């Protein structure tokens, strides 16, 4: 029984989806603009996030989106603070 549980745990780890490189956090109004951009592994990302591509992340920053102050996706993308 313990071996079966361990095998299932290992299978769960192997089958876990790869986290996205970038997360776009939306506000309470789903039609409103994004609230923040995060790196994919940011612990500070809210629940209303979706994975985005590199191009979408760059566009979010260049169009005035706010970068998370914890994971600093603007620095990771090569943007300098103004």
Evaluate whether 74 touches 59 at the Cβ level (below 8 Å). Answer: no
64: left (phi over 0), alpha (psi -120 to 50) or beta: left
Contact 22, 56 (CB under 8 A): yes
Q: Which residues have a Cβ under 8 Å from the Cβ of 29 and sit 6 or more positions away? A: none
Using CA atoms in the order 68, 23, 42, 9, what is the torsion angle rounded to 10 degrees? 170
* pLDDT, position 24: 93
pLDDT for 72 beyond 70: yes
At 46-70, the pLDDT tens digits run 888 999 999 999 998 888 889 999 9
pTM for the complete prediction? 0.72
């Amino acid at each position: 029984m313990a071996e079966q549980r361990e095998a299932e745990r290992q299978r769960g780890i192997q089958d876990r989806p790869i986290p996205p490189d970038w997360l776009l956090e939306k506000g309470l109004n789903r039609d409103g603009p994004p609230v923040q951009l995060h790196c994919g592994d940011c612990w500070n990302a809210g629940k209303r996030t979706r994975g985005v591509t590199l191009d979408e992340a760059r566009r979010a920053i260049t169009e005035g989106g706010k970068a998370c102050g914890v994971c600093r996706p603007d620095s990771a993308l090569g943007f300098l603070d103004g």
